[in-house]
Amino acid sequence: MSALIDQMASALRARHYSRRTEQAYCRWVRRYIRHHGLRHPAEMAEPEINAFLTHLATTERVSASTQTQALSALLFLYRHVLHRQVGDLGQLIRARTQTRLPVVLSRDEVRAVLGELHRDDRVCWLIASLLYGAGLRLSECLGLRVLDLDLARGELVVRSGKGGKDRATPLPRALSPALREQLRRAKLIHERDLAAGWGAVQLPAALERKYPRAPWEWRWQWVFPQQRRWTDARTGRQGRHHMHPTIVQRAVRDAVRHAGIDKHATCHTLRHSFATHLLESGYDIRTIQELLGHKDVGTTMIYTHVLQRGGQGVRSPLDSLTGSGPGSSG
């Protein structure tokens, strides 16, 4: 199995898929193989793919997006690794699509969460502030490099975001002092690493081939480097990666609890709140679509539903009564 997974990973890298997609696709291939008793995928075809995907929908009850990701991974395996086309999957049972409104915090709730973070962890506070202030995904924020920030213009660039697209989004000017301090700390770490013979950062393979000295240059370093050094399993080269997302996720979860907020709020809730509050301020849906990096405006339209008050924006007749207590007339 390991040789096949290595081939899968190499094929994904050759086509510039993100590291997270590579990990997810390889994980699905492993599960597919284990589900069928460790048979090699070359010995299987459409019936086995159908059976696995149906199992995900009916037994594991995964979401529609999860099942679609599993299907995409298997299609990639057969087309680009085994060099076989996948035919009709027959009566594939699809996972049920559920439309859920995103959890959104009010402005006061955002202020409370950020206040808790500011007191306990200034770096996590800065990251959470960027999630809300610039509408970033957590992975996008942690993946920021020095050259992505333009403090003078008040703009940051998200490179190779979801879907492999670059986009620009506003950089909150209120965060400029904190970002300058974070960059100062990151540069000290980088300079110490260089002095110790380290200092290289991981870059996409194509960029590193084009600019072989780039991994050691300051402008390519992470804005939020992790505390410990790492060794690249693929090259054996030592360097420093960005902060791990679980550190921020845990800090935000604790801040929500300490702020006394009962909503199921996560890091991504701050991005949802960014979009909703922009809509409340009168920005048009297309602008927000571009800032969020959504491919389809239909994805962004979900926030219009969040704005509606009550059931479909209808005001309850009870609220119009002058006296709604027991014994009141009307």
Token couple for 197: 């013979």
- For residue 63, the tally of other CB atoms under 10 A from its CB is 15
Token couple for 174: 């209120």
Q: What residues act catalytically?
A: 137, 162, 268, 271, 294, 303
Dist CA 95 CA 297 (whole Å): 23
Report the candidate in 307, 267, 265 with the shortest Cα–Cα distance to residue 285: 307
Residue 167, sorted as left (phi over 0), alpha (psi -120 to 50) or beta, turns out to be beta
For residue 322, report the phi and psi dihedrals to the nearest 5 degrees.
-70, -30
Beta-ladder partners of 170 = 155
Dist CA 158 CA 156 (whole Å): 7
Contact 303, 279 (CB under 8 A): yes
